[in-house]
Structure 1
Amino acid sequence: MIRAHTVEQVRSAEHALIRTLPDGTLMQRAATGLAHAVADYLGSVYGRTAVLLVGAGDNGGDALYAGAQLARRGAAVEAWLLSERAHRGGVEALRTAGGRVTVATSSPPPVRRRPDVVVDGIVGIGGRPGLRPAAVAALDALAGVPVVAVDVPSGVDVDTGEVDGPHVRADLTVTFGTHKVAHLVDPAAGAVGALHLVDIGLDPHLEPAAVTALRPEDVAALLPRPRSDAHKYTRGVVGVRAGSATYPGAARLSVAGASCGLAGMVRYVGPDEAAAAVRADHPEVVGPGRVQAWVVGSGSDAGAETALREAVADDVPVLVDADALAAVEVVAGRGAVLTPHAGELARMLDEDRAAIEARGLHHARRAAARWQAVVLLKGRHTLVAAPDGRVAVTTTGTPWLATAGAGDVLGGVIGALLAAGLDPFDAAALGSWVHGGAATLARRDGPIVAGDVARALPATLATVMGQSGP
């Protein structure tokens, strides 16, 4: 599992580790890892050129010591000092190795030769969002050159994933010891580029993660598997109340997600027009009866609140999507899974959509606490927030997944996992990962529609389950 920590957690772990090490060891470990990562990114070192953008923090020191190592291997390295408080030992190490040092606190020096790479050591992990004018000017002077960020792209909020003002957009981010929240949470995560983690020995000292993300092996361990004596009822029955005469396709897609094979049976309850379409697609789907979980709301139109109240009366876990989210108070405190996109969550919280997108982590946690439910906020990196503050981030998927009906399929998958016995948080995080994985598999080399994602679910599940044996 990917575990992301806050600045306070990282600093506490660093201080605990530093007490056991000779002075400067931690920075040298980080600098060596950074130098190797830059070398790997460039493909070669001798004769290559690098500009280091150096601020006052330890990230600037990491960049300077890494630059010294690159210079000793034959690279032409120049440091632009954006602060008068740049790390003195790092500056001296770079000069000793043959690198150039230029003060750029007021304006950047002329660019004599376009460098091969820029190393962003402007702001440390404790820096505030945004960049000072000197840093912005330096980045503008080097526009178009690939950027390797030290720890996080400078200018983003490390603990929230928020951005406020100018910030670095990296091609590669090299981080140390552990992932940080901004590596996973948008919009900051969109500025990270490829991410490389350098082990500097923090693990034994780190507290529980603030944010997590599943890896394939975690998914394989969580996915429900039938016992040798299983039958369709012991594997779980998921009910779907979705679709309407106006939107029968939503019913078909919700049922397609629920019919991924993770539950033993799927029941459909809805208007005759939608029911006929569902059964034409899925002859194994049956009608009303007892269920272990409900999926409610996709394309339900005016009947959404009634469908939700009828589902809640069964006292089983409920996934609430789309039209049913307008009646969210019906499930408050019942441990439901809510699956809004940013626009829907904005209406639920009486906020602007832009505010939700700018502060997704904050608002997902806020909604989870308000309704005492698991909130899955759909997006490029979907967030799954629990009422107790836990957050899982989905890193699978593709931009092609932004297509009509994809959320209907997602709701069905999560509903099947709820019916199979997973708790709401795990079901939402796992279902979102599988849904994104299926979209990636379905995409191959071109666009997809929601039905493609549903059809790719069995192959995705079989691939992941195969990684952990029968």
Structure 2
Amino acid sequence: MADHDILTVAEMTAADRAAIEAGTPGAVLMARAGQAVAAAIQARWTARDTVVLCGPGNNGGDGFVVARLLAAAGWPVRVALLGDRGQLKGDAALAAAEWDGPVEALVPRSIGDAKLVVDAVFGAGLSKRLDSIVAETLRLAETSGAVVVAIDLPSGLSGDLGGPLGYAPKADLTVTFHRKKPAHVIEPGRGLCGEVVVGDIGLAPVPTSLVENHPDNWAAKMPWPDAASHKHARGRLIVISGEMWSTGAARLAARAGLRIGAGLVTLLSPPDALGVNAAHSEAVMLRPFDTDLELETAAGHADAAIIGPAAGVNEATVANLFALARTGAALVVDADALTAFRDDPAELFSVLDRDDVLTPHVGEFERIFPGLLKSAPERISAARQAAAKAHAVVLIKGPDTVIAAADGRCAVNTNGSAWLATAGSGDVLAGFIGGLIAQGMDSFEATCAAVWIHARAAELHGPGLISEDLPGLAPQVLRELIAWPG
């Protein structure tokens, strides 16, 4: 849905320009932006000594509007401007003319005893480091104990790259307009923005293939059963077990696939691991295989297959993946099955298609896409380039997990939970992805849904979470989603 679209700086500029060309004056858009910021501030804090730090462009113009509105509401407000008030142009000059209070120079002493600082110096379009006076002033604001509110983005943060160009302050609240930008959702920018509020200033939607991962985008596509459903109709998922001493990861994935709704989940196990797996499996079925050819036969009717959790970094895993690829099942390639191809990633890519999913963390991503994270401008571009190269869905795990499809669709997950930093949580995520794909969900949407469900489950549990808890929390999240509006 459009409300969850993420726009680049250029796309946002185009949206502004289109509104102006359609007859909405820029000064009106600036007034709406300032009203959104002032309203967000007043909704969260009581009146207190405030200084608004204004830059020489439109971001500064927004700041003058905020200062005027807060002062009219009885707040004690000062304005500090970078540059000469007489040099302001266009809409910013009009906004400054409506401020009837004094304007001081923007220097570190401008912070004074302020309890709230509005950073309206520079917005998302900044392309160079802050000069020393601005950086020192904002650093003092950040460390003074005052509340920091950023307009659009904390100054010094690149809207597209998602990181500071040098220094950028950490805000308590960032108010942006129309849609979020990459810096609002990817780290380290996301962490510097604090709470993010998106103000509606009356712009029209802009076509984009980048979204914030949210149930509004895929909840209507969830594969719910109906009265005629039976276990085979609900999807057949297989998971490849590791050797006898490395079986737990595959069982976690299998259990997760079953909990997320797959009708029939089978753990395909090397013969020496059958006893261990049988002792710990109930609803998950168990079947042996000894060679890659036996695996191909055993997996012949599967809708989706998960390979990698504790599978072993060896030639057997490579051969097993090729066997699964020959079945036509959608593949979820995780963990060891990724690392097994580190010497020849192209060999892996040669057997993948758009229905397959690669689930690397950053280290695994570097092994199969060497140098890409460093050469790409940011994680979104890296994920998209990787998906195009692999001809498959690729997710890069992290606090800002990015999911990209080979056709250019991309989503950034923002409900990540620190409680997921525990062994085995990635195996559960692979199971959630495989289980949804087995039920017929589009692989990109299934991956987006699984990532969100995974994080939501962790949030519901909180402290003390271990990976074994996650599959059992899935039903509670699914109950939320089955009643999702729309």
Query: Is the structural similarity TM-score above 0.5?
Result: yes
How far apart, in 2, do the equivalents of 1:145 and 1:243 lie? 54
Partner of 2:477: 460
How far apart, in 1, do the equivalents of 2:278 and 2:165 lie? 50
How far apart, in 2, do the equivalents of 1:267 and 1:117 lie? 58
Do the aligned partners of residues 82 and 278 (structure 1) sit closer, same or farther apart at CA in structure 2, a change above 3 Å counting?
Answer: farther
Partner letter of residue 449 of structure 1?
I
Partner of 2:468: 451
Partner of 1:382: 401
Equivalent pair of 2:358/2:393 in contact (CA under 8 Å) = yes
* Structure 1 residue 415, shift from structure 2 partner: 0.4
How far apart, in 1, do the equivalents of 2:161 and 2:139 lie? 26
How far apart, in 1, do the equivalents of 2:320 and 2:460 lie? 33
The reply on whether 1:409 has 2:428 as its aligned counterpart is yes
Partner of 2:293: none
Partner of 2:370: 350
Partner letter of residue 199 of structure 2?
V
Paired residues in the alignment total: 455
How far apart, in 2, do the equivalents of 1:435 and 1:411 lie? 10
Partner of 2:14: 12
The reply on whether 1:166 has 2:171 as its aligned counterpart is no
* Structure 1 residue 138, shift from structure 2 partner: 0.3
The reply on whether 1:241 has 2:240 as its aligned counterpart is yes
Q: How does 1:323-362 map to 2 (within 5 A)?
A: 323-326=336-339, 327=341, 328=345, 329-332=347-350, 333-335=352-354, 336-351=356-371, 355=374, 359-362=378-381
Q: Which runs of 5+ in 2 are unaligned?
A: 288-297
* Structure 1 residue 468, shift from structure 2 partner: 4.7
Corresponding residue SS for 1:388: coil
Corresponding residue SS for 1:119: strand
How far apart, in 1, do the equivalents of 2:384 and 2:164 lie? 18
Name the stretch that deviates more: 336-345 or 357-366: 357-366
Do the aligned partners of residues 222 and 273 (structure 1) sit closer, same or farther apart at CA in structure 2, a change above 3 Å counting?
Answer: farther
Partner letter of residue 32 of structure 1?
Q
Equivalent pair of 1:153/1:173 in contact (CA under 8 Å) = yes
Partner letter of residue 365 of structure 2?
L
Do the aligned partners of residues 356 and 322 (structure 1) sit closer, same or farther apart at CA in structure 2, a change above 3 Å counting?
Answer: farther
How far apart, in 1, do the equivalents of 2:202 and 2:390 lie? 40
Partner letter of residue 9 of structure 2?
V
How far apart, in 1, do the equivalents of 2:376 and 2:278 lie? 38
Percent identity (aligned): 35
* Structure 1 residue 263, shift from structure 2 partner: 1.1
The reply on whether 1:89 has 2:115 as its aligned counterpart is no
How far apart, in 1, do the equivalents of 2:377 and 2:274 lie? 40
Equivalent pair of 1:373/1:387 in contact (CA under 8 Å) = yes
Partner of 1:209: 208
How far apart, in 2, do the equivalents of 1:119 and 1:32 lie? 14
Corresponding residue SS for 2:103: strand
How far apart, in 2, do the equivalents of 1:292 and 1:22 lie? 55
Do the aligned partners of residues 457 and 275 (structure 1) sit closer, same or farther apart at CA in structure 2, a change above 3 Å counting?
Answer: farther
The reply on whether 1:310 has 2:310 as its aligned counterpart is no
How far apart, in 2, do the equivalents of 1:465 and 1:241 lie? 30
How high is the TM-score relative to the length of structure 1? 0.91
The reply on whether 1:192 has 2:209 as its aligned counterpart is no
* Structure 1 residue 358, shift from structure 2 partner: 8.0
RMSD: 2.2
State the 4+ residue runs in structure 1 displaced beyond 6 angstroms: none
Partner letter of residue 316 of structure 1?
A
Partner of 2:57: 57
How far apart, in 2, do the equivalents of 1:274 and 1:134 lie? 65
The reply on whether 1:296 has 2:307 as its aligned counterpart is yes
Equivalent pair of 1:102/1:109 in contact (CA under 8 Å) = no
Partner of 2:225: 226
How far apart, in 2, do the equivalents of 1:139 and 1:152 lie? 13
Do the aligned partners of residues 258 and 331 (structure 1) sit closer, same or farther apart at CA in structure 2, a change above 3 Å counting?
Answer: farther
How far apart, in 2, do the equivalents of 1:310 and 1:197 lie? 48
Equivalent pair of 1:242/1:299 in contact (CA under 8 Å) = yes
Corresponding residue SS for 2:269: coil
How far apart, in 1, do the equivalents of 2:244 and 2:164 lie? 43
How far apart, in 1, do the equivalents of 2:27 and 2:329 lie? 56
* Structure 1 residue 399, shift from structure 2 partner: 0.7
Corresponding residue SS for 1:4: coil
Q: How does 1:252-291 map to 2 (within 5 A)?
A: 252-272=251-271, 274-286=273-285, 287=287, 288-289=298-299, 290-291=301-302
